Amino acid sequence: MHPILTLIAQRLALGILLLFAASILIFAGTSILPGDVAQSILGQSATPQALANLREELGMNEPAVTRYFSWLGGFLQGDLGTALTNGRDIWESLSGRLANTLFLAFWAALISVPLAIFLGLLAVRYKDRWPDKLISAVTLTTISIPEFMIGYVLIYWVSIKLGWFSSVAIINDGMTLGQKLNAIAIPVMVLTLVVLAHMMRMTRAAILNVMQSAYIETAELKGMRMLTIIRRHAFPNAIAPIVNVVMLNLAYLVVGVVVVEVVFAYPGMGQYLVDHVSKRDVPVVQACGLIFAAVYIGLNLVADIVSILANPRLRHPR
């Protein structure tokens, strides 16, 4: 088998194994939480017999291994179970929320990824000069501030003081694309500022590492312009680490939006998860946790595969 196909198969097998391990941790973590789900549903005035009947109905008296494989088997078949608090099918409630989270992450990525690469290239072009120092200072400042603080600052200035956008990011199916973009403008700004610094600095570091190669020095001796050297020679050869860091931050945009969604009351998966954690709705928490894990592992798999394909020594083995 070709070395590339072998490595890709190994990465896919590792991804499946990691997802299986994540499902065990999620199930075990939610199962050992203190408190009683039946008690939280029926209230403090529930009789012991009513609590026992509800526990039996929910399958809480079955062994943990049986409950785990039943839950995992249902998940693999697309059955995420039923919410304990309202009796609704979890997937029906979650699908729209997942679409909203992906919508927010998509627009944040559409702005942050090209901007981060551009700023990284600009910092390399003016290395150790004032543009490089200014870009580094600003991005390091934004990455050092918690996202909820950035969100509140932007709400105060952009929404309250300037009145440009709404401070509450509520969207629905009846809104046009323009109305949705207006509603999510400030959350997109927050997410962009949060992930921008990491991607920019990794882009800068990867390109500077390539710039120390002998063929870059040869290109300089030939009299090629620095921008041309960076664009034609350095950037293509630094694509693997850049893709890795971009995918990591894309995973964060999907998985790590919980705080941003809560701050802006955005109807996404993060808000949905927080609402049901407070209600001790374990099936919903388990479903959200496994979906987040699948997205994170999947995007990292994509980064690994792109890195493998970008390696010329693997594409053209001797």
Which has the closest alpha carbon to 167: 156, 175, 180, 179?
A: 156
Query: Among candidates 50, 34, 31, which has minimal Cα distance to 42?
Result: 50
Mean pLDDT of 268-292: 80
Q: What does the pLDDT read at residue 101?
A: 85
Is there a contact between 84 and 281 (Cβ–Cβ < 8 Å)? yes
**What pLDDT is stored for residue 259 in this prediction?**
80
Whole-number pLDDT of residue 78: 76
Record the pTM: 0.77
Residue 97: predicted pLDDT: 84
pLDDT greater than 60 at residue 317:
no
pLDDT digit string (tens) for 212-225? 777 777 777 777 77
CATH number of 96-279: 1.10.3720.10
Confidence of residue 17 (pLDDT cuts 50, 70, 90): very high
3-state class of 169 per DSSP? Answer: coil
Under 8 Å between Cβ of 209 and 242: no
Quote the tokens at residue 254: 């999907």
Return mean pLDDT, the chain. 78
Domain extents for the chain? Answer: 96-279
Query: Which tens digits make up the pLDDT trace of 84-109?
Result: 777 677 888 787 888 888 888 888 88
Burial class (CB within 10 angstroms; exposed 0-12, middle 13-18, buried 19+) of 202: buried
Question: 46 vs 99, which has greater pLDDT?
Answer: 99
Q: Are 286 and 26 in contact (CB under 8 A)?
A: yes
DSSP bridge partners of 105: none
Quick: pLDDT tens for 229-263. Answer: 776 767 777 777 777 778 778 887 777 777 888 88
pLDDT bracket for residue 135 (50, 70, 90): confident
Residue 23, pLDDT > 80, answer yes
Per DSSP, the residues of 44-72 read TT--HHHHHHHHHHHTTTS-HHHHHHHHH
Q: Evaluate if residue 27 carries a pLDDT over 60.
A: yes
**What is the per-residue pLDDT for 35?**
59
